Amino acid sequence: MIKKIIVVIITLLISVSGFAQINNTSVYSFFGIGDKNNSATTEQLSMGGVGVALSEVHRLNLSNPASNASLKFTSYTLGLVSKNSKVSQKDDSQIASATYLSYLAMGFNIGKKGGLSFGILPNTSVGYNLLSINSDSDGNTEDTSYFKGEGGTSRVFLGFGYSPIKGLNLGLQGDYIFGKITNSILNKVDDATLATKYETVSNVAGFKLNAGFQYTTKINEFTQVYAGGNFILGNDIESKEKEYLYTVNPLSTSIAKDTILSNTNYSNLKNPIKSTIGIGVGRDNKWYAGVDYSYQKASELEESIYETPNIKYSDYNRFSIGGFYTPKYNSILSYWNRVTYRAGFYMEDSGLKVDGDKTGENFEELGSFGISFGVGLPVGKQQISNLNLGFEYGKRGETGNNLVQEDFFNFRMSISLGDKWFQKRQIN
């Protein structure tokens, strides 16, 4: 069975063009280096994103490197997500969607007290395609502008966890961030032979380090209390930004006729420390209920062409609550008793304020909320390999003050494979 699943994974990897993909459909991804992606797994996002305090012997936790210390099996995991949204502004609305590979990771134990994990996943994403038409008083088109953005940043990570004493896990993880972002505005005046195109191309790179801990203790024979924290240290993301303005043929917009402007700029995105703490209660392989809270002071964008008077960075906050329930993980008679059922809820302030009126005085916090649920379907006779399905519905932003509201429905799927490595062969 495991060999068959590996064949499926290889097929998926071949069919997906890696992380250089259109993986966003939000107009808000225009700002900065794009929308931040939640690094949690499908299992965690199906519980509202909780899990910084939770560690399992057969499953990776991408939210806290300390969880690596609890691994007793080699775990492979791959996730896909399909984002579907309805974008509304005043009386107008549109539908958008995108499907992409959300993470690929592997982890394994090192001895009895340590564990290692590594992988790749999106860090931020940019994806929008907008049209603006200006007309005169008689309704005749004067000029048309096309706004387009694509790309984003990815990150590769290497994390290590160690358990110095029973019940306590400590972890450390390094991330390398890299990517390319392209934004453009094509403007065509009615009856004009040529159009003008303004384009920015940014190559982004940076490094960040985070540390985490987890502590577990029993309060009775069957129930445990979990506590954990993850701290992403302050870091700088550097960007080399090239800025162009040139004329183009409206029928062949990728070929420049005359270059009017060509500049190179270097900028820096300064991110303060981000702290996430969580607490939960549960029973191994049976149930878990937890709460997570994340906070980060406002980021700073220095000397960047992406600085605009219509946005401000603000403090980031996220509150999540959720959990899972497995009727009987080792049931022989019923497959559905071995299925894990998950649900959760979250509220978030994105760390971005937008002035839709463009007056410089009416900034609105870009907030969101969502509910989620999902299932973990066992694969094979053991409970260490699963096919996970997750569903999320929520809303971001609002239509007041010339802003855009996004109602979204996300479908996630991941496969987690468990195996035992480094076993000594026994000769009878």
Q: For 352-377, what is the mean pLDDT?
A: 85
Listed residue (325, 321, 312) closest to 347, CA to CA: 321
List, for residues 231-285, the tens digit of each pLDDT value.
999 988 888 888 888 888 777 666 667 778 888 888 888 889 999 999 999 998 8
Rounded Cα distance, 22 and 232, in Å: 27
Q: For 184-204, what is the mean pLDDT?
A: 85
Listed residue (318, 338, 349) closest to 387, CA to CA: 338
Whether 162 and 126 have beta carbons less than 8 Å apart is answered as: no
297 has pLDDT over 60: yes
pLDDT at 171: 97
CB burial of 201-217 (b: ≥16 within 10 Å; e: otherwise) equals: bbebebebebbbbbbbe
Q: Which DSSP symbol is given to 6? A: H
List, for residues 393-423, the tens digit of each pLDDT value.
999 888 777 788 889 999 999 998 877 655 5
Distances (CA, A) of 26 to 76, 97, 295, 422: 30, 10, 23, 45
Rounded Cα distance, 160 and 67, in Å: 9
Mean pLDDT (the chain, rounded): 85
pLDDT at 4: 45
List, for residues 138-191, the tens digit of each pLDDT value.
767 777 888 888 888 999 999 999 999 999 999 999 999 999 998 888 888 877
pLDDT at 115: 95
Domains of the chain: 24-123+150-178+206-232+271-419 (2.40.160.60)
Element (DSSP H or E) covering residue 91:
none
**Given the structure tokens 């969607």, which residue do they identify?**
97
Compute the Cα dihedral for 187, 188, 189, 195 and give only its sign.
positive
* 89 or 278, which is more confident: 278
Q: For 16-22, what is the mean pLDDT?
A: 48
pLDDT at 395: 93
Distances (CA, A) of 33 to 101, 231, 340, 402: 19, 22, 36, 23
* Percentage with pLDDT > 90 across the chain: 43
**Given the structure tokens 């969502």, which residue do they identify?**
370
